[in-house]
């Protein structure tokens, strides 16, 4: 089956047009008919109820792919649009190693203490050790999710919804599992992580658990099912990031639902309808996420009951959230990071970067919040 890829912003606009006859569009979508455009919510004054300072900043090439950052101990791996991969000390921003440009990338960087792995736009998997290429493996499909490195293996989620494992030392392919699905897939980072000795991957609207040694399926749980009368309406891919606390793994199905799974038993705990396009953050009590219109919602982790919702960041192009102290941090399309209260969603503080969109979910590494922008700025913020 041939899979066509749709960027998430374009797809979100397409879905909005199907529902509203294009009477209004997000401000970042071109409106050739000259109709009125929806405006992002005006920003309230910064209350500065949290003291967070800019500790360091550095600059890479601009980012034009589904970027992700990877925490490795007290360091962070970041990839730029020209294929340069950098490992930074998260506390100081000092460069620990930097690779040569690998060419355009299709997905962000994944890794562990010894290895960093990226997927190129030419469908090549490249493994780096201290910035030097260790091996390369040609892929038969595109990849938009950062490779996942664990247990001496590199796991890859393909745009065709295949899951593959490679030997981390030499790149030898160990196994591949393919799942049929709808013909459209998102050009956006999906879901891949490990819980105990089970590999979890998002395939369509299902979270699947695999034996990482041989690829055999242990369980799968439906977060959302395909519905509708056309390919766009049936698209329900799971999107990163996820919120994991122990065996509880909570995920989002693109513009369809959020839900939690007990990964130890492979049991679906609950799902709730939701229309967001970015992943989730959370703690042991709540999970947090932003809907496509910018509404930020908190759900109770145990049963999915809504705890609060705020519209103060409407249409601001929000990232997936990450927790920072007593706040929920979300980046936006104009380069701000908003710190909202976990308790009620009120604004606690606002951080500024370089004015270009936050392109990756902010990543907490130790005590440092690492933020990456479209223009290639990397910023490290620390609470005071």
Got the DSSP string for 56-102?
EEEE-S---S----EEETTEEEEE-TTS-EEEEETTT--EEEEPPP-
- The H or E element that residue 202 is part of is strand 198-203
Residue 349 Rama label (left phi>0; alpha psi -120 to 50; beta): beta
Q: How far is CA 252 from CA 124, 203, 255, 267, in A?
A: 28, 12, 8, 16
Look up the pTM and report it.
Answer: 0.89
15 or 5: whose pLDDT is higher? 5
Q: Which two tokens stand for residue 313?
A: 């960041």
Percent of the chain with pLDDT over 70: 88
pLDDT of residue 64: 86
Query: What digits encode the pLDDT tens for the residues 284-325?
Result: 999 999 999 999 999 999 999 999 999 999 999 999 999 999
**Residue spans in the chain of domains classed CATH 2.40.128.630:** 47-65+289-384
Query: What digits encode the pLDDT tens for the residues 230-271?
Result: 666 667 899 999 999 999 999 999 999 999 999 999 999 999
Question: For domain 47-65+289-384, is the CATH number 2.40.128.630?
Answer: yes
Q: What is the mean pLDDT of the chain?
A: 89
Residue 234 and residue 186 in contact, taking contact as beta carbons nearer than 8 Å: no
Q: How confident is the model at residue 281 (pLDDT cuts 50, 70, 90)?
A: very high
pLDDT of residue 234: 67
Closest CA to 63 of 374, 379, 378: 374
Q: Which two tokens stand for residue 294?
A: 């910018």
């Amino acid at each position: 089956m041939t899979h066509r890829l749709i960027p998430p912003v374009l797809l979100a606009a397409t879905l909005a047009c199907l529902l509203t006859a294009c009477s209004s569009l997000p401000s970042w979508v071109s409106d050739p008919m000259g109709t009125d455009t929806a405006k992002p919510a005006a920003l309230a004054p910064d209350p500065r109820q949290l003291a967070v300072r800019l500790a360091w900043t550095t600059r890479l090439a601009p980012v034009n792919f589904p970027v992700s950052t990877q925490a490795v101990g007290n360091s962070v791996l970041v990839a730029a649009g020209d294929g340069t991969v950098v490992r930074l000390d998260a506390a100081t921003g000092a460069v620990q190693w930097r690779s040569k440009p690998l060419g355009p990338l299709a997905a962000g960087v994944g890794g562990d203490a010894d290895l960093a792995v990226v997927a190129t736009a030419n469908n090549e998997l490249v493994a780096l050790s201290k910035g030097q290429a260790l091996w390369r493996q040609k892929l038969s499909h595109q990849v938009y999710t950062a490779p996942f490195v664990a247990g001496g293996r590199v796991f890859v989620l393909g745009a065709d919804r295949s899951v593959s494992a490679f030997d981390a030392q030499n790149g030898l392919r160990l196994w591949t599992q393919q799942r049929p699905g709808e013909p459209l897939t998102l050009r956006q980072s999906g879901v891949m992580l490990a819980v105990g000795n089970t590999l979890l991957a998002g395939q369509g609207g299902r979270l699947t658990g695999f034996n990482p040694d041989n690829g055999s399926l242990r369980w799968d749980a439906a977060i959302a099912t395909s519905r509708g009368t056309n390919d766009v309406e049936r698209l329900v891919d799971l999107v990163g990031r996820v919120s994991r606390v122990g065996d509880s793994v909570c995920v989002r199905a693109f513009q369809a639902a959020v839900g939690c799974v007990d990964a130890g038993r492979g049991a679906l705990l609950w799902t709730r309808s939701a229309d967001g396009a970015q992943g989730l953050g959370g703690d042991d009590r709540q999970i947090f996420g932003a809907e496509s219109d910018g509404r930020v919602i908190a759900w109770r982790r145990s049963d999915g009951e809504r705890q609060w919702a705020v519209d103060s960041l409407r249409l601001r192009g929000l990232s997936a959230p990450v927790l920072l102290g007593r706040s929920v941090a979300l980046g936006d399309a104009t380069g701000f990071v908003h710190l909202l209260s976990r308790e009620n969603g009120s604004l606690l503080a606002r951080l500024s970067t370089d004015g270009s969109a936050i392109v990756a979910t902010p990543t907490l590494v130790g005590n440092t919040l690492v933020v990456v922008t479209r223009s290639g700025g990397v910023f490290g913020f620390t609470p005071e």
